[in-house]
Amino acid sequence: MASAAVPASLGRELSDPPSDGISNLRFSNHSDLLLVSSWDKSVRLYDASANVLRAEFMHGGPVLDCCFHDDSSGFSAAADNTVRRLLFASNKDDILGKHDAPVRCVEYSYAAGQLITGSWDKTLKCWDPRGASGQERTLVGTYPQPERVYSLSLVGHRLVVATAGRHVNIYDLRNMSQPEQRRESSLKYQTRCVRCYPNGTGYALSSVEGRVAMEFFDLSEASQAKKYAFKCHRKSEAGRDIVYPVNAIAFHPVYGTFATGGCDGYVNVWDGNNKKRLYQYSKYPTSIAALSFSRDGRLLAVASSYTFEEGLKPHEKDAIYIRGVNEIEVKPKPKVLPPA
Amino acid sequence: MSKPQSDPLLQAETTCGSLLYELQIIWDEVGENETDRDRMLFELEQECLEVYRRKVDHANRNRAQLRQAIADCEAELAAICSAMGERPVHTRQSDPNAGSLKEEHARILPQLEEMRKRKSERRNQFIEILEQIQVISMEIYGPREYIPAVVDETDLSLRKLEDLHKQLQALQIEKSNRLKQVQEHLYTLNSLCSVLGLDFKQTINEIHPSLGESEGNNSVSNDTIQRLAVAIQELREVKLQRMQKLQDLATSMLELWNLMDTPIEEQQMFQNVTCNIAASEHEITEANTLSVDFIQCVEAEVSRLEELKSSKMKELVLKKRTELEEICRKTHLVPEADSAVEYAVEAIESGTVDPACVLEQIEVQIAQVKEEALSRKEILEKVEKWLGACDEESWLEEYNRDDNRYNAGRGAHLTLKRAEKARALVNKIPAMVDALTSKTLAWEKEKGIQFTYDGIRLLSMLEEYNILREEKEQERRRQRDLKKLQGQMIAEQEALYGSKPSPSKPQSVKKGPRMSTGGAASRRTDKVDDGVSLSSARRGLDIAGVPAKKYSFGAGSTRDIEPPPLARQPFSPITSKVSSNSNMANGKDELNIQSEKLQRTVSLNNMPFSTPSKTAAILVDEENRTPKTMPIPVPSTPSTVSVPMKMVMTPAHPPSSVVPLRGGELVQEIEYSFEERRLGFVLH
């Protein structure tokens, strides 16, 4: 359990964490189950409230991403090029299909009833998980990307894909033959993470240079005028800015505000509409690798796990913290208009 | 002068007489003379005659008129009767006692009236019928065939009427037949339109507007009927065409389903198409089964399946190619480079090569290779056994060099057993090689082509092995002789100096610390022909295990003596460095001489007996030199059947690095994410 050295202000540490880096973690849409993928080649299912490990799936290589289908099954993307379906009750997994290179991202679209994976083989693949296993039956389509896929995010029928080389493709899941929009990231440095706003109007994109861009889908002048970028996860030291990659973005399901996690070990909560930072949590032992809000927004799972940004070096042990979320930390504070 | 009479004539005469008497009186009075009296009386009579004549003429004329009238009536009556085809009713001749003319006339008039009336009635009947006929024949034959409804006055007979009746009936029957025909045609058209998905009302309206009315009289003209027939013919042709097209599409669809194992649910949707695949024209009667929309729908599905197939084709081609390569690999054949197949992926994507064609080629190749594989099977099995035996041989040689092998340790008994088996096996090798050679020769003779093993002719391999083995044998013998010689020399020395040199001849030292592997190396040199020089050769050329051999014994005799002096410095630390350095010199010399041989043996990159030299070299290197990155990892046990030189792994290039982003430094060249670097993932 939580070591004495860990202050309670970080949240409750999850017991039985993975033995190596954490690549991603996600809360279920229906309960407080938490799915965690790790570099120790495992995917673990926890009951976050009960702090209990419920299932564990071993893979052939480090697992780079995971997502829920529902409370009985989920999917994983691994560095052994496989996309797997995980069945929680039986603790069994089967291979849904393969890419030609490590699979970096996986997302399940409820709107389309399809699974979407992005890989370093520069393709996006859509799978229909209802069929029998075997790539011939489940693969719906393969869509070439300009570069290796680094991150992807879904909202409604929209899919945003961020690749190496700062490319961003926006798709409509109903017509995957062509991207709806082809964009270049507004930020000058490598994209780390992309997440769509819950209200479906746009997406947030973070880079390795301590910056986040807020973008909008609508290409009209009015909407594009609203886009902006802000600096975050930086430290001023001796007159210079030390700049940290922003690894994770998570939107609060109720308030639409969002949290970012960086290699500086901090989690910040932002109000995108009012362009303010709402809160900064206490510093975590090492880089923040992943963040996830629970379905009601009352819990925040924080993966404190070194993300290899400085190569191989000794680091704090990898841990997952579950912290309760107070309204004051996430509720937007509209601008107070000056009295007339 | 006439005398007065008693009857009316008498009356008249009386009157006339009285008048005459009176006249006489008058004359008497007047005194007219006789001649004047006679003349006046004559005039009187003449005038009276005139009046009589006039009256008689008048009555005559009347009588004539009456007769004429009667004759006229009779004529008319006769005419009417003849026109009406009846027997004359009345003739004067037939009734001589007709009576007076007036009676006759009075009798004949009503008859005439009667006949006239009847004629008129009959005429009306005719007119009626003729009009009907006219109507119907206009309906049937169109206005061009106008038959004027003119009554032939001369023939109003019943027979004619009947004829006309018959005509009318005939026309009516004709009309009803045509109506039936039209109905039939309409029915057929309706079913055709329904099948083809056409608008029936519109179609028939185009042919003739009257056909569209449900209650109205349908046109039955020749024209209409012909047009209906033509329309039916056309639609039938269309139906046949579409049916053919649909059946073709259904066939393609079935083929594509078959090829791609389409799930049943998808197939069900088009069940109604495929069930008709062999139907004949009249069997297809469901509405809209041949409509344009439906056919387009099926076409779209077929083209979708074709697209799916072509996208799968690429996968299929790659799969097949992998299969081909796998089969080749298993049977140790080098797959023929085929330009079309080589660039299959790019070619298919750019559309220059038909994937089905490429697939076929690959299939053919696969079939060929499978056949070949079958014929090669026996020989390959023998080759495997032989190579396995060679491995055991090399293991055995190494084992024999191991000074500790008789030390009781874990598994010592197992290795002892293995050594036993290995020795037995090694003895069988020559026989194996001979048998293999003869079999290969026979095979080659039969097939007319060389038997290759991973690209190298098997017979060459066997030949090389034999030659090397012989040379090994010769070298062994030579060393034995040398030892004898050495023994003699030692004995001489002993005799000369009175002391025995150290009993440990470095060459013969089997046990001892690893450092003496320098000596062991030279001992190895004795047995296995310059393990050290080999290592230098390898170092120099970085070739996997090329045995450099001493060529002739004549020339070698001087060299034979060279190593011994080295070996005979028992107390000088025989570090392999020293020995290997000198040996390196040797090796280099030998190398130069053997360059030819080397060239030849370069190709023997998968010689099993290269392993011992490899091992030797590596041992030397391990102990005494800075380890270099060897392309092949150090095997502690003899490697399995060796890998051709071509497949030597090159060390992985360090990724062109991205400077970790601190303080805003820019990326260089290919960027990699943290995860990629952590995994060591590189783009090729």
Contacts (Cβ under 8 Å, ≥6 apart) of A334:
A274
The pLDDT assigned to A260 comes to: 96
Which positions in chain A touch B661 (Cβ < 8 Å)? 189-190, 208-209, 243, 245, 309
| Residue A240 touches chain B, beta carbons under 8 Å | yes
Which positions in chain A touch B669 (Cβ < 8 Å)? none
**Which two tokens mark A306?**
């070194």
3-state secondary structure chain A: CCCCCCCHHHCEECCCCCCCCEEEEEECCCCCEEEEEECCCEEEEEECCCCEEEEEEECCCCEEEEEEEECCEEEEEECCCEEEEEECCCCEEEEEEECCCCEEEEEEECCCCEEEEEECCCEEEEECCCCCCCHHHHEEEEEECCCCEEEEEEECCEEEEEEHHHEEEEEECCECCCCCEEEECCCCCCEEEEEECCCCCEEEEEECCCEEEEEECCCCHHHHCCCEEEECCEEEECCEEEECCEEEEEECCCCCCEEEEECCCCEEEEECCCCEEEEECCCCCCCEEEEEECCCCCEEEEEECCCCCCCCCCCCCCEEEEEECCHHHHCCCCCCCCCC
CA distance A229 to chain B (A): 16
Nearest residue on chain B to A236, judged by CA atoms? B663
**Distance (Å, rounded) from C-alpha B328 to C-alpha B338?**
14
Which positions in chain B touch A140 (Cβ < 8 Å)? none
In this complex, do B673 and A242 lie within 8 Å of one another by their Cβ atoms? no
CA distance B308 to chain A (A): 10
Contacts (Cβ under 8 Å, ≥6 apart) of B236:
B192, B281
CA distance A334 to chain B (A): 33
Contacts (Cβ under 8 Å, ≥6 apart) of B162:
none
Which positions in chain A touch B261 (Cβ < 8 Å)? 136
DSSP, res B278:
T
pLDDT tens string A150-181: 999 999 999 999 999 999 999 999 999 999 99
Out of A25-39, A180-194, A227-241, least confident range = A227-241
**Distance (Å, rounded) from C-alpha A330 to C-alpha A269?**
7
| Residue A104 touches chain B, beta carbons under 8 Å | yes
Q: Which residues, listed in sequence order, are joined to residue A64 by a DSSP beta bridge?
A: none
| Residue B199 touches chain A, beta carbons under 8 Å | no
Side chain identity at A54, as an amino acid letter? R
**Distance (Å, rounded) from C-alpha B519 to C-alpha A134?**
60
In this complex, do B675 and A242 lie within 8 Å of one another by their Cβ atoms? no
Residue-averaged pLDDT of chain A: 92
Nearest residue on chain A to B672, judged by CA atoms? A164
**Distance (Å, rounded) from C-alpha A268 to C-alpha A93?**
36
Calculate the alpha carbon distances from A70 to A57, A108, A113, B61 in Å. 16, 10, 12, 135
CB A73 within 8 A of CB A117: no
Report, as ranges of residue numbers, the positions in chain B whose pLDDT lies below 50: 1, 3-5, 340, 504-667
| Residue A242 touches chain B, beta carbons under 8 Å | yes
Which positions in chain A touch B680 (Cβ < 8 Å)? none
**CB proximity under 8 Å: B 268-287 to A:** none
**Distance (Å, rounded) from C-alpha B218 to C-alpha B139?**
9
Per the listing, tokens 């419920």 go with: A54
CA distance B304 to chain A (A): 13
3-state SS class at B457: strand
In this complex, do B681 and A310 lie within 8 Å of one another by their Cβ atoms? no
Q: Which helix (H) or strand (E) holds B669?
A: none
Q: Compute the C-alpha angle B656/B659/B663, nearest 5°.
A: 165
**What integer is the mean pLDDT of A33-37?**
96
**Distance (Å, rounded) from C-alpha A269 to C-alpha B264?**
51
Per the listing, tokens 């070739």 go with: B543
CB A97 within 8 A of CB A57: no
The pLDDT assigned to A253 comes to: 93
Phi, psi of A96 (to 5 degrees): -80, -35
The pLDDT assigned to B523 comes to: 43
Best of A208, A236, A313 to disrupt the B interface by mutation (most B CBs within 10 Å)? A208
**Which two tokens mark A20?**
């190596």
In this complex, do B673 and A39 lie within 8 Å of one another by their Cβ atoms? no
**Distance (Å, rounded) from C-alpha B591 to C-alpha B529?**
12
In this complex, do B660 and A311 lie within 8 Å of one another by their Cβ atoms? yes
In this complex, do B676 and A120 lie within 8 Å of one another by their Cβ atoms? yes
CA distance A96 to chain B (A): 17
**Distance (Å, rounded) from C-alpha A198 to C-alpha B155?**
104
| Residue B304 touches chain A, beta carbons under 8 Å | no
| Residue A139 touches chain B, beta carbons under 8 Å | no
3-state SS class at B657: coil
Nearest residue on chain A to B666, judged by CA atoms? A189
The pLDDT assigned to B229 comes to: 86
Residue from the list A62, A164, A307 with its beta carbon closest to the beta carbon of B674: A307
Which positions in chain B touch A243 (Cβ < 8 Å)? 661-664
The pLDDT assigned to B637 comes to: 40
Contacts (Cβ under 8 Å, ≥6 apart) of B4:
B10, B13, B14, B17, B18
Best of B262, B304, B312, B661 to disrupt the A interface by mutation (most A CBs within 10 Å)? B661
**Distance (Å, rounded) from C-alpha B80 to C-alpha B69?**
16
| Residue B677 touches chain A, beta carbons under 8 Å | yes
**Which two tokens mark B244?**
């053919």
Nearest residue on chain B to A139, judged by CA atoms? B312
In this complex, do B661 and A189 lie within 8 Å of one another by their Cβ atoms? yes
Nearest residue on chain A to B316, judged by CA atoms? A136
Nearest residue on chain A to B262, judged by CA atoms? A137
Query: What does the DSSP assignment read for B459-472?
Result: HHHHHHHHHHHHHH
Model confidence at A204: pLDDT above 90: yes
| Residue A136 touches chain B, beta carbons under 8 Å | yes
**Distance (Å, rounded) from C-alpha B326 to C-alpha B335?**
10
Count, residues in chain B? 684
In this complex, do B679 and A311 lie within 8 Å of one another by their Cβ atoms? no
Put the strands of the sheet holding A228-231 in their side by side order. Answer: A191-196, A202-207, A211-216, A228-231
pLDDT-derived band at A117 (thresholds 50, 70, 90) equals very high
Put the strands of the sheet holding A319-324 in their side by side order. Answer: A12-13, A319-324, A299-304, A288-293
The pLDDT assigned to B7 comes to: 61
The pTM for the full model equals: 0.41
DSSP, res B662:
S
Calculate the alpha carbon distances from A329 to A157, A196, A278, A300 in Å. 30, 21, 6, 11
In this complex, do A243 and B673 lie within 8 Å of one another by their Cβ atoms? no
CA distance A310 to chain B (A): 6
Which positions in chain A touch B345 (Cβ < 8 Å)? none
ipTM for the whole complex: 0.92
| Residue A22 touches chain B, beta carbons under 8 Å | no
Number of A to B CB contacts under 8 A, please give it. Answer: 58
**CB proximity under 8 Å: B 2-41 to A:** none
CB atoms within 10 A of CB B380: 18
CA distance B668 to chain A (A): 12
CA distance B660 to chain A (A): 6
Residue from the list B663, B678, B683 with its beta carbon closest to the beta carbon of A242: B663
Best of A37, A41, A148 to disrupt the B interface by mutation (most B CBs within 10 Å)? A148
Which of residues B367 and A183 earns the better pLDDT score? A183
